[in-house]
Structure 1
Amino acid sequence: MSFDTTEHNRHRHCFDGVSSVWLFGYGSLIYKVDFPFLEQCPAMIEGWARRFWQGSHDHRGTPDSPGRVVTLIEQPGACCKGMAYRVAPDVFEHLDVREKNGYLRFTTTMTFNDGRQAEGLVYIADAHNAAFLGPADEADIARQIAVSQGPSGRNDEYLLKLAEALRQLGDDDPHVFAIEGYLR
């Protein structure tokens, strides 16, 4: 199962005349920075919560045995911490392929640690994409993550690296840390 959003994303935003764009990362984009950037700053977005509700059929699982990776779910009053990168528009050629399994680019307002704000883009896999797995008990999510593996590696590696990156950002994400606790 796959819902390749690569071409759809390439038509969502026009970068004509734009020299740089802010990108907000809240999952593997925090710790796996395999793209060039011009600037990097811790940031947060409001009204969104990070959840392991997206299936990974192409990176941390397979079509027959999907892993789970994070997406953002709208939640009033929530705050999602992550990392913002100022990138050249051509970086999206790579990122659109990396984030192709159901993720679409959306515009968001980011707040940096110093209080400045900027508009940027964020990849979100909403409930309408074919790879969306939805909510589950955190212990069940941990069990699925423990046994999943795909071309990009073990699913538990993704979870553990994300948890460590969030600690380094000073983020106390109860959902991620609860799943990590069950996994350990």
Structure 2
Amino acid sequence: MSTDTTEHNRNRQDFSGVESIWLFGYGSLIYKVDFPFLEQRPASIQGWARRFWQASHDHRGTPDAPGRVVTLIEQPGAECKGMAFRVSPKVFEYLDVREKNGYLRFSTTLSFEDGDPAEGLVYIATEDNEAFLGHAPEADIARQIAAASGPSGPNSEYLLRLAESLRALGDDCSHTFSIETFLKAGS
């Protein structure tokens, strides 16, 4: 699949008659909220783990020196904490472009902190997109992040802001925090 998923996403869901929908953010959508929303609530999804396994050619890196950003990998028993935003379907006109580098919109069940469930959407970069990098040792991921920069800024800023946001949510994402430790140690 091509890395530019904009048009593909625009054909994935029919928003006819829908006034608002929940969007689950687990990466930069947690801290870079540059879109209008109607409501914001901490939430989580089950069976998914956050991983720095997706290349960023358009935001935190370049085609010649891609950065690494997060996607979700299916993992039974895992819980991924993040932020849910209730948005107008019109917001996806912007978000589909922002998240175009290999991410597809999927339906998901999310749970709020009080245990209430809701149906929503989440962007996931699957293994079959051209920008999927997959597993690598966390020290190697940290080195790649330290060296990468793109139109949205240094890849290290993405990692550090995400780690800070996850701590604020009370998430213990060992993958993210391990990469952060390697980055700060200058691995």
For 2:65 and 2:132, the matched residues in 1 are separated by: 14
Query: Map of 1:49-128 to 2, 5 A cutoff?
Result: 49-128=49-128
3-state SS in 2 of match to 1:114: coil
Query: Map of 1:1-184 to 2, 5 A cutoff?
Result: 3-184=3-184
> How many residue pairs get matched?
183
Give the ranges of 4+ consecutive aligned residues of structure 1 lying more than 6 Å apart after TM superposition: none
Q: Which amino acid aligns with 1:150?
A: G
Q: Which amino acid aligns with 1:9?
A: N
For 1:17 and 1:98, the matched residues in 2 are separated by: 24
For 2:113 and 2:90, the matched residues in 1 are separated by: 27
For 2:142 and 2:180, the matched residues in 1 are separated by: 7
Q: Which runs of 5+ in 2 are unaligned?
A: none
1:3, CA displacement in angstroms?
A: 1.1
1:83, CA displacement in angstroms?
A: 0.1
Cα-to-partner distance string for 1:64-116 (whole Å, 9 max, x where unaligned): 00000000000000000000000000000000000000000000000000110
For 2:146 and 2:131, the matched residues in 1 are separated by: 19
For 1:45 and 1:3, the matched residues in 2 are separated by: 25
For 2:126 and 2:143, the matched residues in 1 are separated by: 23
For 2:134 and 2:151, the matched residues in 1 are separated by: 23
Identity of aligned residues (%): 76
TM-score by length of 1: 0.99
Cα-to-partner distance string for 1:113-170 (whole Å, 9 max, x where unaligned): 0110000000000110000011000000000000100000000000000000000000
TM-score by length of 2: 0.97
